[in-house]
Each structure stands twice: as structure tokens, then as C-alpha cells.
Amino acid sequence: MPQTGTDDFWYPMAGVVDENGEVDTDRYNSIVNHIGNLFVIDSITNNEVKSFSFDVKKSFYQEKLKDWSIARITDEKTEWKPENIEERAPQIAVWAKDYWRL
């Protein structure tokens, strides 16, 4: 989920639009800054797909970054919602604990 949401795709996908069409940007920011939404990807590559829809981003990852974890993680996904982000967080925590042993 991109840092900059879009009215036509990402805000609705995040579920942060109320019945009056108002966007809760604080809630959106808390979702996109969640550890489960973070991927290691260089800024130049990331800027190529910026705030495009999930389908566009996923296709890009599968084609251009097929050996990166972002391609493997999104491969079987049909959407990227807050639930997906929350599910991914414990996986990152386990990886980080194993990688950075104290």
C-alpha cells in the first residue's frame, strides 16, 4: 500500500473512506506505516509504480523483481488490504528476530 493513497483505489482498499466520502488520512497513515506493509525496494524502482493499483504493482513486481521477496509475497494475492498487512507483520517479526539475534 503506497504512502500516498488514491481516491479511486487505495483509500477504498484500505477502508478509510466514510459514508460521506471523507478520507481518514490518520488511519491510512497508520496502515501504510505498519511493519507488515514495509518492503525492501530501492526508491527508483519503487517510484516506477508509485500509487498504481495493486494489479499494476503486482504485475510489475512479478516481471521486474521476480527474485525479490516482494514478488514472492504478492504472487498469490489478489488484493492488498489492511488484513494482509496485519497477517504479514508476525512473519517480519520472526525474520527480524532470527536475523538480528542478540
- The answer to the question of residue 5 being in a domain is no
Give whole-number Cα distances, 16 to 28, 30, 67, in Å.
6, 11, 33
Question: Which whole number is the average pLDDT over 26-35?
Answer: 97
- The answer to the question of residue 4 being in a domain is no
| Domain span including residue 59 | 10-99
- Predicted local confidence at residue 15, as pLDDT: 98
- Predicted local confidence at residue 83, as pLDDT: 97
- The answer to the question of residue 1 being in a domain is no
- The answer to the question of residue 40 being in a domain is yes
- Predicted local confidence at residue 60, as pLDDT: 93
Counting the structural domains of the chain, the total is 1
Closest CA to 32 of 97, 80, 69: 80
- The answer to the question of residue 17 being in a domain is yes
Cα angle 77-3-73, degrees, rounded to a multiple of 5? 25
Give pTM, 2 decimals. 0.86
- The answer to the question of residue 93 being in a domain is yes
pLDDT digits over 62-77, tens only?
A: 999 988 888 888 998 9
- The answer to the question of residue 29 being in a domain is yes
- Predicted local confidence at residue 99, as pLDDT: 84
Q: Grid coordinates in use for 85?
A: 498487512
- Predicted local confidence at residue 39, as pLDDT: 87
Question: Which whole number is the average pLDDT over 16-42?
Answer: 95
- The answer to the question of residue 88 being in a domain is yes
Residues of the chain with pLDDT > 90: what percent? 70
